[in-house]
Structure 1
Amino acid sequence: MVKALAPLLAVLLAPPAAVPAAPTAVAAPAFVPTRFTVEVVGDGPDVILIPGLTASKDVWRGAVAAVPGYRYHLIQVSGFAGAPARGNKQGPVVEPLAEEIARYIRANRLRRPAVVGHSMGGTLALMLAARHPELVGKAMVVDMLPQPAELLGSSASGIRGLADMLESVSGTGFGQGLIDSAVRMFGNDAPVNVRSDRDVVARAAHELALTDLTPELPRIRAPLTVVYANPAPPLAATADGVYRRAYAADPAATLVRLDGSGHMVMADQPQRFAEELRRFLTP
Structure 2
Amino acid sequence: MKRREFLLSAGAAALAALAPAAARSGFASSRLSVVVRGSGPDVILIPGLTASRDMWEGMVAALPGYRYHLVQVAGFAGDPARGNASGDVVAPVAAEVARYIAETGLRAPALIGHSMGGTVAMMVAARHPARVGRLMVVDMLPAPAGLFGASAAGIRPLADSLRDVLTGSPGGRRLLESLIGGFGGAADPAAKSDSDVVARAMHELALTDLTPELSRIAAPMAVVYAVPPAGSGADAGRIVRDYKAAYASARTAELIPVKDSGHMIMYDQPARFRSIVRDFLQAR
Q: What's the counterpart of residue 20 of structure 1?
A: none
Compared CA separation, residues 240 and 183, structure 1 to 2 (3 A): farther
- How big is each residue's C-alpha offset from its partner over 1:71-125, in whole Å with a ceiling of 9 and x where there is no partner? 0000000000000111111111111110011111111000010000000000001
- Moved runs in structure 1, 4+ residues, more than 4 A? 180-184
Quick check: 1:93 aligned with 2:89? yes
Deviation at 1:180, TM superposition (A): 5.7
- Tell me the TM-score normalized by structure 2: 0.84
**SS of residue paired to 2:150:** coil
Summarize the alignment of residues 19-98 of structure 1 with structure 2, pairs less than 5 Å apart.
Answer: 30-98=26-94
Distance 2:184 2:158 in 1: 22
Distance 1:112 1:233 in 2: 39
Distance 1:174 1:154 in 2: 27
Q: What's the counterpart of residue 17 of structure 1?
A: none
- How big is each residue's C-alpha offset from its partner over 1:207-262, in whole Å with a ceiling of 9 and x where there is no partner? 00000000000000000100000113484322210100000001431100111110
Q: Percent identity?
A: 58
**SS of residue paired to 2:51:** coil
Residues 230 and 236, structure 1, Cα contact 8 Å, conserved in 2: yes
Q: What's the counterpart of residue 223 of structure 2?
A: 226
Residues 125 and 141, structure 1, Cα contact 8 Å, conserved in 2: yes
Deviation at 1:182, TM superposition (A): 7.5
Quick check: 1:109 aligned with 2:111? no
Distance 2:175 2:158 in 1: 10
Question: Is there any run of 5+ residues in structure 1 with no aligned partner, and where?
Answer: 1-28
Question: Is there any run of 5+ residues in structure 2 with no aligned partner, and where?
Answer: 1-24
Distance 1:39 1:171 in 2: 35
Q: What's the counterpart of residue 199 of structure 1?
A: 196
Deviation at 1:166, TM superposition (A): 2.4
Q: 2:173 aligns with which of 158, 173, 176?
A: 176
Distance 1:176 1:142 in 2: 29
Summarize the alignment of residues 158-177 of structure 1 with structure 2, pairs less than 5 Å apart.
Answer: 158-169=154-165, 170-176=167-173
Distance 1:203 1:164 in 2: 10
Summarize the alignment of residues 113-128 of structure 1 with structure 2, pairs less than 5 Å apart.
Answer: 113-128=109-124
Distance 1:256 1:176 in 2: 37
Q: Quick one: which amino acid aligns to residue 72 of structure 2?
A: Q
Q: Quick one: which amino acid aligns to residue 232 of structure 1?
A: P
Deviation at 1:193, TM superposition (A): 3.7
Compared CA separation, residues 91 and 265, structure 1 to 2 (3 A): same
**SS of residue paired to 1:75:** strand
- How big is each residue's C-alpha offset from its partner over 1:36-69, in whole Å with a ceiling of 9 and x where there is no partner? 1111011000000000000000110011011110
Summarize the alignment of residues 241-252 of structure 1 with structure 2, pairs less than 5 Å apart.
Answer: 241-252=241-252
- Tell me the TM-score normalized by structure 1: 0.84
Q: What's the counterpart of residue 217 of structure 1?
A: 214
Deviation at 1:189, TM superposition (A): 3.8
**SS of residue paired to 1:208:** helix
Distance 1:84 1:32 in 2: 15
Q: What's the counterpart of residue 3 of structure 1?
A: none
Q: What's the counterpart of residue 263 of structure 1?
A: 263
Compared CA separation, residues 223 and 180, structure 1 to 2 (3 A): farther
Q: What's the counterpart of residue 208 of structure 1?
A: 205
Q: What's the counterpart of residue 152 of structure 2?
A: 156
Structure showing the higher helix proportion among its residues: 2
**SS of residue paired to 2:129:** coil
